[in-house]
Amino acid sequence: METTVHSLEDELGDIVAKARVGCGLTVHALAETVGMSSGDISSIEAYKLRPDREHIERIAESLGLDPGKLLVAAEETWVPAEPDFSTVEADVTKITVPYGAYGENCYVAACPQSCKCAIVDPGGAVEEIAAFIDERDLIPRFALITHAHTDHIGGLKQLAERFPELTLVSHTLERDSVTRGTRNRWEPAKDRIGLKMGSLNVVPLATPGHTQGSCCYLVDGVCFLGDTLFAGS
């Protein structure tokens, strides 16, 4: 399967804005500290300005960030290492969904004994996901939805039609968006209450923040985060 490298969704502007707010600083206060104008700081946070190395280092030090890492993030020369799933019982495969500038990662996690599988955040690439399931004779059991933004559920309706036995799982707050246009069974993702999938246990974890109904799913030592954690911050 060909690997496509996408930019990190957490860009320099995201990292600076989140860190500034976390430190309780106004745009004006940060600007004064690092010797820039308020307009410059606002432009950085709006992805319109990439400051020089000296100012990146000043910003990092003022916000308690690692200067070297912030510089690498600004230059867009770092991406996370590919996860190693070889040490877990579940068979986990990542399917990259083209979406905007960043892309989105869908995962298929399967029980090797029962061949039952879960599809995590099918944002698109419906034919690729369906072909993968068919080629490996997997039995679709759950669609695990971390949150209902379009880039994470864009392919859900089509997959639900393709696999009517698929149970849709999400936080109760995300139910309407997740089930809209489908006839599949829906089940709530209850915090720390496991769902059986063959010999595997699927444990939802409530992680509100990115959305009020955001949650993660722990499957045999692998935690699927959705947009709960961004690589840059």
Does 25 share its domain with 60?
yes
Asked whether residue 178 is assigned to any structural domain, the reply reads yes
The last residue of one of the domains, among 75, 105, 127, is: 75
Nearest to 12 by CA among 78, 70, 85: 70
Does 99 share its domain with 71?
no
Instruction: Quote the number of domains for the chain.
Output: 2
Give me 185's structure tokens: 């069974």
Does 126 share its domain with 156?
yes
Please give the chain's pLDDT, 233 residues, in tens.
334 444 556 789 989 999 999 999 999 999 999 999 999 999 999 999 999 999 999 999 999 999 999 999 899 887 778 889 999 999 999 999 988 777 899 999 999 999 999 999 999 999 999 999 999 999 999 999 999 999 999 999 999 999 999 999 999 999 999 999 999 999 999 999 999 999 999 999 999 988 999 999 999 999 999 998 876 65
For residues 72, 74, 31, 48, the Cα torsion angle rounded to the nearest 10 degrees is 180
CATH number at residue 208: 3.60.15.10
Asked whether residue 191 is assigned to any structural domain, the reply reads yes
Q: CA–CA separation, 27 vs 39, rounded Å?
A: 9
Asked whether residue 82 is assigned to any structural domain, the reply reads no
Does 37 share its domain with 130?
no
Asked whether residue 44 is assigned to any structural domain, the reply reads yes
Asked whether residue 81 is assigned to any structural domain, the reply reads no
Does 17 share its domain with 109?
no
Range of the domain at 194: 91-224
Does 112 share its domain with 23?
no
Give me 164's structure tokens: 């009517």
Place of tokens 């020369």: 77
CA angle 93, 79, 51 (to 5 degrees): 155
Note the pLDDT tens digit of each residue in 111-120. Answer: 999 999 999 9
CATH number at residue 43: 1.10.260.40
Asked whether residue 80 is assigned to any structural domain, the reply reads no
With DSSP H G I counted as helix, E B as strand and the rest as coil, what are the percentages for the chain, rounded to 5?
35, 20, 45
Asked whether residue 163 is assigned to any structural domain, the reply reads yes
Does 131 share its domain with 206?
yes
